[in-house]
Each structure stands twice: as structure tokens, then as C-alpha cells.
Amino acid sequence: MEQFLNKLLEKNRAKCQFGSVADYIPGLDKADRNHLGLCIMKTDGTVQRVGDYDVKFTIQSVSKPLTLMLAILDNGVDHVFSKVGMEPTGDAFNSIKKLETHDTHKPFNPMINAGAIATTALIKGRDAQDKFRRVLEFFRKICENDTLEIDEDIYRGEKETGNKNRAMGYFMKGEGYIDGDVEDALDVYFKQCSILVTAEDLARVALFLARGGVLSNGERVVSEYVAKIAKTLMVTCGMYDGSGEFALMVGVPSKSGVGGGICSVVPGRMGIGIYGPSLDKKGNSIGGYSLLKDLSKELSLSIF
Ligand code: DON
């Protein structure tokens, strides 16, 4: 199996030269475009790691399904979806367009920046610091990794350059979709995106969802229903405005981030974590995407 995975990985590493690393957040551009790593964790306990599976990178938008689950635990499903929708946008992840033009002015879904900021704003805590402490604790639990920390430089870069996110935050506050302090919500959002992970950490997140919300020690953290909400939104909105094509080509609930991560869930079977910072035009890992296409075909992974 390892030999087979290595072969697929090296074949797809060649694709990395056709993309580029994100540079709109200072610090992200330091990544090596040719890195590609894969970790597969099966529900039977088998683990496979190949390529650059142990390189650290910022989780970015792969954080979004996690904060969604925490926001639901804190507030219940109905309250969360009174502040954020469930529909794909077909627009770029950082687009502001539909916030203004759609009649409700409600952010479309929790997987795009606007909806994720509204979701993060729902997380409970005394202040921004306390809220982020709870977020980090939750991420550590799901990743089964107590050493997770943020990359301070990327966090500062996000905060300094995140003016479009800031604009969306204030717009949503004006429309009543954010109740508390906008700067606090943004601060927690920038921090959650700056958490350092590896492909192995993302495989754990995926395995957790593949097992319907249960850790490897058998502890249930979220209900089957909450895990299902996260997986469903990952299918419809998780790969940005490339989610439709991805569902057809790969066919498993997945979430990508501009740091190069992809977390892919094969329900009941396995969790897959990918790192490949060279991105295609939509912001998805170019090598990771094509590696997942091959894996899906070879291992018959599509849920459809
Ligand atoms: O807000 C941003 O632009 C980044 N912190 C997250 C971007 C990302 O990975 C794309 N998300 N959907």
C-alpha cells in the first residue's frame, strides 16, 4: 500500500509546478511549492503517511467545519443557521458580492469567509482571548494533538491585511448577523486560521468525521447529526467555487484552505489529510486535488 501511495504522490507532485503558493497573507508565500504530503487514517486503525506529511502549515479555511461544530455545540443548530445560511455561492471564498445583493443579506454558508466570521462570532467566551482558548482546545481535542499552536507571524499578517474580512464583518453587524464585538470575532477568526497543523492532523479531523463525531478513544464529541451537517456543507461548499466539479471528480466531503491543506472524509472508511501549498486559480491545492482524484478512482472512494 505504501509503495502504491508513494507512486501516486510522486506522480502528482509534478503537478505542483503549475500552481502557485498564496501570497495575499504575508508569510504564506514562504511555503515550498513542491511540497506534497498525504496521511490516510482508516477506521480500523491503520495509518499511512507519505511525502511531506509532517510539514507544518496554517490550517486556514480547513478550520471552518471545526468552528461550525463548536458554534453548534454552544448555541444549537437553529440559532447558528439563523445567522448563517446553507447554500453554496458559486463565488470566490472571500467574495463580498452576495452579502449586499441577496435580499436577506445573510452570509450564504459557514465555509466561505463571511459565513465563517459570523459562525466564529457565535463561539462563547468571556472575551476574544477566552473564545480563542476554547477554539484551540476544541481543535486540539479533534486533532488529538495537544501541541497545536498558532503561527504568530501569519496571525499578525492576517490581522494587518484582512480588511476585506473586516468590511464583511461590519456589514454583517449592521445587518444583525453578528451580535457581539466585530473586532473580537475577527481576532478569533484570524487566530483560528493561523493554527499550525500537518497533513496528519487533518487526517485525524477527517477520521473524526468519518466516524460520525467520535475520537479514536471512543469518546463522542458531537452528535452524528452535527457531524452530518459539517460533512454535508463540506460536499456542497467545502472546495470554494470548485465544489461542484470536485464532487464529480472526487466525491467525498472535503474542505480546503489557502495554506495548502485538504481534509477529506470517506464516511465509515477513512480520513485523508493532504498538504500541498501550490494552489490552483480557485485556491485549492493543485497537487492535492489531483492526488485525491487518483485516490478516489483507485480506491473507489466516491460516496455517490
Ligand atoms: O480569511 C482568509 O482569507 C484566510 N484566513 C482564510 C482563507 C482560506 O483558506 C479560504 N477560505 N475559504
pLDDT at 88: 85
Q: Are residues 163 and 215 in the same domain?
A: no
Q: Are residues 105 and 118 in the same domain?
A: yes
Q: Which residue, of 148, 171, 193, is where some domain finishes?
A: 193
Per-residue pLDDT of 255-275, as tens digits, reads: 999 999 999 999 999 999 999
pLDDT at 183: 97
Strands (E), the chain: 37-42, 47-51, 57-58, 196-197, 254-256, 261-266, 270-275
Tell me the residue range of the domain where 150 lies. 63-193
In a domain, 49, yes or no: yes
Ligand 1 contacts CB of residue 258 (under 6 A): yes
Taking the C-alpha atoms of residue 128 and residue 134, their distance in angstroms, rounded to an integer, is 10
Taking the C-alpha atoms of residue 232 and residue 265, their distance in angstroms, rounded to an integer, is 11
Candidate list 15, 61, 222, 235, residue with the active-site label? 61
Low-confidence ranges of the chain (pLDDT < 70): none
The total domain count for the chain is 2
pLDDT at 92: 78
Q: Are residues 33 and 114 in the same domain?
A: no
Residue nearest atom 2 in ligand 1 by C-alpha distance: 113
| Ligand 1 atom nearest residue 24's Cα | 3
Q: Are residues 128 and 222 in the same domain?
A: no
Residue nearest atom 8 in ligand 1 by C-alpha distance: 61
Q: Which residue, of 138, 170, 193, is where some domain finishes?
A: 193
pLDDT at 290: 98
Ligand 1 contacts CB of residue 241 (under 6 A): no
Pull the grid cell for residue 164: 476585506
Is 0.80 topped by the overall pTM? yes
Residue nearest atom 1 in ligand 1 by C-alpha distance: 113
Instruction: Based on the residue annotation, tell me whether 189 is a catalytic residue of this protein.
Output: yes
Q: Which residue, of 132, 164, 193, is where some domain finishes?
A: 193
Q: Which CATH number goes with the domain that contains 244? A: 3.40.710.10
Q: What is the CA radius of gyration of the chain?
A: 18
Exposure b/e, 168-201, CB count within 10 A at least 16 = b: bbebbbeeebbeeebebbbbbbbbbbbbbbbbbb
pLDDT at 131: 98
| Ligand 1 atom nearest residue 158's Cα | 5
Q: Are residues 260 and 212 in the same domain?
A: yes
In a domain, 230, yes or no: yes
Instruction: Based on the residue annotation, tell me whether 61 is a catalytic residue of this protein.
Output: yes
Q: Are residues 67 and 168 in the same domain?
A: yes
